[in-house]
């Protein structure tokens, strides 16, 4: 319907801005937008209702009614409220026991086995010794799957293909964990429907036998309205200790996360962001909130940029820009950085409105590849002295070398000139991705929020710095 709730809210309030005549019915309109956005994001309808009622009463307060930018105030309230509901970030696992047992549960295909390996890998990096237990005796090749993953990661896997007695498997595994002095024992279980009495009982038995420190519900970010039923059933049966959201690398808004968090009160502890074992991150409520609202993941982007691009690099570039010395060599290295960030497509995906832009102008990573080919066909001297490229013979040679038409080369040179004059007009070059763009500004709903964002970016940079030293 609409990609970006913040655009929509701005729109709803647009005609009123500045007149200071906000009425209760304007707020009603805005709340309708919020309600729709949340429903479209798959937040459970009951939770949407509660949420909207709460937010509405807050919006009727002074702050919004009297604000000269009511749209932005409303967005901020909605966003803050969502962040608050998403709970604290980084709730650590309880690994005080030895061995600490973690039981992985969830629906079929949610990502339990993969997440077992991811979490094992994560804990292994923290220096823990791990045992993974293959307790899915139903799905074809489930045991092989965990064994293969264990082999890749060099993490032992306990399995027994000769039995379908899950409690038996777990009990033997536990003895092995004690014997081998294992720190953490991760138990992968079969996928099951939350309403499957027999299989839920199987999990209850496992719980009773193992007394796990953690019982994690592994759930797909793209789940629909039933997320509430899924989470509450699993929680009622097992008293979960946390949730892991998988497949966050999709473009699902992930309203299910809010539903599950709200209905269980249990923290979301990690997110899966890809198929590989390292594609695993802690959970950040603020990112999830902007994702649900369709505001893009600017914080992630800024952090990722900070991680990928060193401060020195950024400073050097900034200086060059200021002194109008920016040349094609810099451009080429920026392209490289962009690639490290996952390519233009990924970057756009993380930006508010980025998807729309991508669809509208058909931007893709091929474009970058073409530009890179052209740049690589220039001599270092040419890259350093873009002025000499006015010569047609050079243009032709570069076109030939890059396999692109001369037109493309001309275009690139023209755009480069434009860009150069544009940036040197800025007081301070913010680095390639450091804000300044209209889109970025549009989601800075208030001074406060934008401050938290830049603070986060700085923090991420500091972190990076520390790592280096």
Partner 1 sequence: METIYTKFKSGLQRSKTLLVRNIQSVFGAAESWDKIDYEQLEEALIRTDLGVQVTRRIVEYIKEQYERGVIHTTSDIIECTKQLLYVFLSDDCETPVVYAESGPTVILMVGVNGSGKTTTTGKLANMWQQEGKSVLLAACDTFRAAAIEQLKIWGERTGCQVISGKYGADPASIAFDAVHAATARKSDILIIDTAGRQHTKKGLMDELAKIKRIIQKAISNAPHETWLVVDGSTGTNALQQAKMFQSSADINGLCITKLDGTSKGGVVVAIHDEFKLPIKFVGLGEKESDIQIFNAKVFCEALFSE
Ligand X SMILES: Nc1nc2c(ncn2[C@@H]2O[C@H](COP(=O)(O)OP(=O)(O)OP(=O)(O)O)[C@@H](O)[C@H]2O)c(=O)[nH]1
Interface contacts to partner 1, rule CB under 8 A: 1, 36, 39-42, 45-46, 49, 107-111, 113, 138-142, 144-149, 152, 193-195, 220, 222-227, 229-230, 247, 249-253, 255-256, 275, 345, 349, 364-365
Which of the choices Mg ion, ligand X, partner 1, none does residue 273 contact, using the CB cut-off of 5 to 8 A by kind? ligand X
Q: Tell me which DSSP letter residue 266 carries.
A: P
Which of the choices Mg ion, partner 1, ligand X, none does residue 296 contact, using the CB cut-off of 5 to 8 A by kind? none
- Give every strand in the sheet of 280-282, ordered side by side: 157-158, 130-135, 184-189, 100-105, 214-220, 242-246, 268-272, 280-282
State in angstroms the smallest separation of the CB of 223 from ligand X. 13
Residue 300 engages Mg ion in binding (rule: CB under 5 A): no
In the bound state, the residue with its beta carbon closest to ligand X is: 191
State in angstroms the smallest separation of the CB of 453 from partner 1. 24
Q: Phi/psi at 351 (nearest 5 deg)?
A: -90, 145
In the bound state, the residue with its beta carbon closest to Mg ion is: 113
Q: How far apart are CA 348 and CA 351, in angstroms?
A: 5
State in angstroms the smallest separation of the CB of 82 from ligand X. 22
CB-based contacts of 429, cutoff 8 Å, min separation 6: 317, 318, 321, 322, 423
CB nearer Mg ion, residue 42 or residue 136:
136
CB nearer partner 1, residue 318 or residue 349:
349
Residue 56 corresponds to which tokens in the numbers above?
């509405």
CB nearer partner 1, residue 33 or residue 80:
33
Dihedral of the CA atoms 441, 444, 445, 447 (nearest 10)? -110
Q: DSSP E strands: which ranges in 99-213?
A: 100-105, 130-135, 157-158, 184-189
Could you please report the per-residue DSSP string of 424-463? HHSSS---SSSS-SHHHHHH--SHHHHHHHHHHHHHHHHH
Report long-range pairs for 172-176 (Cβ below 8 Å, ≥24 apart). Answer: 173/131, 173/133, 173/135, 174/99, 174/101, 174/209, 174/210, 176/131
Contact segment (CB under 5 A) with Mg ion among 63-71, 107-115, 382-390, 393-401 equals: 107-115
Tell me how far apart the terminal alpha carbons of the chain are, to the nearest angstrom: 48
Whether the CB-CB separation of 270 and 244 falls below 8 Å is answered with yes
Which of the choices partner 1, ligand X, Mg ion, none does residue 42 contact, using the CB cut-off of 5 to 8 A by kind? partner 1
CB nearer ligand X, residue 26 or residue 114:
114
Which of the choices ligand X, Mg ion, partner 1, none does residue 364 contact, using the CB cut-off of 5 to 8 A by kind? partner 1
Binding to Mg ion by CB under 5 A, coded x per residue (else -) over 185-224, reads ----------------------------------------
Residue 159 engages Mg ion in binding (rule: CB under 5 A): no
Examine residue 278 and say whether the peptide bond preceding it is cis (omega within 30 degrees of 0).
Answer: no
Q: How far apart are CA 468 and CA 460, in angstroms?
A: 13
**Which of helix, strand or coil describes residue 3?**
coil
Residue 113 engages Mg ion in binding (rule: CB under 5 A): yes
Contacting positions for ligand X (CB under 6 A): 106, 108-114, 136, 139, 142, 190-191, 193, 218, 246-247, 249, 272-275, 279
State in angstroms the smallest separation of the CB of 389 from partner 1. 31
State in angstroms the smallest separation of the CB of 278 from ligand X. 11
State in angstroms the smallest separation of the CB of 375 from ligand X. 32
Closest by Cα among 62, 64, 90 to 75: 64
Which of the choices partner 1, ligand X, Mg ion, none does residue 209 contact, using the CB cut-off of 5 to 8 A by kind? none
Residue 411 corresponds to which tokens in the numbers above?
């275009």
Contact segment (CB under 5 A) with Mg ion among 45-53, 84-92, 111-119, 392-400 equals: 111-119
State in angstroms the smallest separation of the CB of 8 from partner 1. 13
CB nearer partner 1, residue 90 or residue 278:
278
Binding site for Mg ion (CB under 5 A): 112-113
């Amino acid at each position: 319907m609409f990609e970006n709730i913040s655009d929509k809210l701005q729109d709803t309030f647009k005609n009123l801005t500045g007149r200071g005549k906000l009425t209760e019915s304007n707020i009603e309109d805005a709340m309708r937008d919020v309600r729709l956005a949340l429903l479209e994001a798959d937040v459970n309808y009951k939770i949407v209702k509660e949420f909207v009622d709460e937010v509405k009463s807050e919006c009727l307060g002074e702050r919004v009614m009297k604000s000269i930018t009511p749209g932005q105030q409303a967005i901020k309230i909605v966003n803050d409220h969502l962040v608050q509901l998403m709970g604290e970030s980084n709730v650590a696992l309880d690994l005080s026991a030895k061995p600490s047992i973690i039981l992985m549960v969830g629906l079929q295909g949610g990502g339990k086995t993969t997440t077992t390996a991811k979490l094992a890998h994560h804990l292994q990096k923290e220096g823990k010794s791990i045992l993974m237990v293959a307790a899915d005796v139903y799905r074809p090749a489930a045991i092989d799957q965990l064994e293969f993953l264990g082999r890749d990661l060099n993490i032992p896997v306990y399995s027994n293909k000769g039995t379908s007695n899950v409690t038996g498997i777990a009990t033997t595994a536990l003895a092995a964990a004690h014997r081998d002095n294992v720190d953490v024992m991760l138990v992968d279980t079969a996928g099951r429907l939350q309403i499957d009495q027999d299989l839920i009982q199987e999990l209850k038995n496992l719980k009773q036998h193992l007394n796990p420190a953690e019982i994690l519900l592994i759930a797909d970010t793209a789940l629909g309205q039933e997320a509430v039923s899924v989470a509450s059933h699993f929680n009622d049966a097992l008293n979960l200790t946390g949730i892991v959201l998988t497949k966050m690398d999709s473009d699902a808004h992930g309203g299910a996360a809010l539903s599950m968090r709200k209905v269980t009160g249990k923290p979301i502890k990690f997110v899966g962001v890809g198929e590989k074992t390292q594609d695993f991150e802690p959970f950040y409520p603020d990112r999830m909130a902007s994702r649900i609202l369709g505001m893009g993941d600017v914080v992630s982007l800024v952090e990722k940029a900070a991680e990928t691009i060193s401060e020195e690099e950024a400073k050097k570039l900034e200086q060059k820009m200021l002194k109008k010395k920016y040349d094609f060599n810099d451009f080429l290295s920026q392209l490289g950085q962009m690639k490290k960030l996952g390519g233009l497509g990924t970057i756009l995906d993380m930006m508010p409105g980025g998807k729309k832009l991508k669809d509208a102008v058909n931007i893709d990573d091929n474009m970058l590849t073409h530009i890179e080919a052209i740049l690589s066909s220039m001599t270092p001297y040419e890259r350093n002295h873009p002025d000499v490229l006015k010569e047609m013979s050079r243009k032709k040679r570069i076109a030939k070398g890059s396999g692109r038409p001369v037109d493309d080369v001309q275009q690139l040179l023209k755009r480069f000139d434009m860009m150069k004059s544009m940036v040197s007009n800025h007081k301070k070059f913010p680095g390639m991705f450091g804000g300044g763009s209209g889109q970025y500004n549009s989601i800075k709903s208030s001074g406060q929020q934008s401050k938290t964002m830049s603070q986060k970016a700085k923090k991420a940079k500091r972190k990076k710095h520390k790592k280096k030293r």
